[in-house]
Structure 1
């Protein structure tokens, strides 16, 4: 679910066909067991350069033809619309703030939790026993960095979302990926390795087990069916609000999920409840429990938002 397989950034070329009331697309439901024992049910919808991601009450719709993102809060009955350019700017700012928070923790001598150090070495892939996931036959692969096993993946050739998603999907986030790597996120990731990319190109990832963090993402149901156009439109009867209201801001100014909108992974961090000075004082007093809570919060934002969420959507 989570490894970047994007290609070079380029402009969207040409016009896309208009949609009718419904078109055939993929509906995929999954379960994600992440860091700290958190579990989320997710749903993804793919239809001709449109993607809808659902995680609880938080929904993100990406329209690559219109180059816009719709963020929906089902609980509050609100939604917001932003352009891709606005989204990228927000993500970069969120990653910058997350980077600053992590650097401050390191300066204080506080170890960084929730983000296991990645193994170094050449990325290699070996075949393992296949499996049936959600009724789909899958080939299994084990990914290693040097001598360390980092990940196990099962992919199926029976699901091909590339027919619904054109080159624009892969191109749009290459700059964002590059920014993340420059800031220290995902630089150790295997996603750019030729052996790894070959796995992602061979089919749709149905189950992924991160052997270092313990995170598991598994598809529970997948079907190709007619998808109503309303899934990818602004919700009727909801209040439209500015997009900055759709990202939870802490007193330190860091948006939830490292700046990611709803649906890109990550819960709202509350790092601002403990300032850097308070964290330093707590550490000097030996009061590690409050510091640990804040470390967990901020790293959830960094890891889940800036890294997990992007890869979750753009792995295939």
Structure 2
């Protein structure tokens, strides 16, 4: 199998593209890791919203690590090939990471709905046990969905010299390359997408419909500003995640083996994960304070290690 990465006959572009992807990956890892460490180290952030945010950052790290390092190795080696097992493994982990992020965004929307529409019951509803169960349920759903598609792909037969029009192995594109009948696989994909993808999206829409209704009934401007500040970051991440995902699948459906499709895949699996930490840190005062404290501690840690 071959991914649609920079060609060997464009050697002058490869250093630039390699440095670009490497920079995006390092920024993604560093930004999301800082979010996780800030939530762990600051007691003021030991709240359900930041607990879900740290799990979202972990999911972003996993998705970027699943796709970008292999891409960097291929660019450096000037070889776009990937083994069948490697491709299947990569597509499985991509499904787990994307599914987990999809579920986490829905859980975070519900968290904001309870905080704004039922503030007096917030700590009762969003207790630590319930939050932990939501994370485990999201992970379980994501793993089941990924294993279902991966096991279905194992039953297919493929021809030789195949090329995937993306920077990574994605299950829909892999199924398109099969020589055998893929009707059952396509049915499973549509069914699983409508269930595992549709329900979280409907949950997000319902949550924000209730939040918007409560927003309109608020008498004070201060309350409206607080609501907007609370939901603005999450809503931005939701639009970025689903917007780039929709753009990738529309592009791949309309065009075949296009460089635009490959670029759209990068926009979906690299850009949102890189920007999410900035969106949350720039729009949240508590997160800014926690990050300042954490970054301020770093020089003292190095000094103690040196001693």
TM-score (norm. length: structure 1): 0.25
Decide which structure has greater strand share: 1
Higher CA-based Rg: 2
Q: Which has the higher helix share?
A: 2
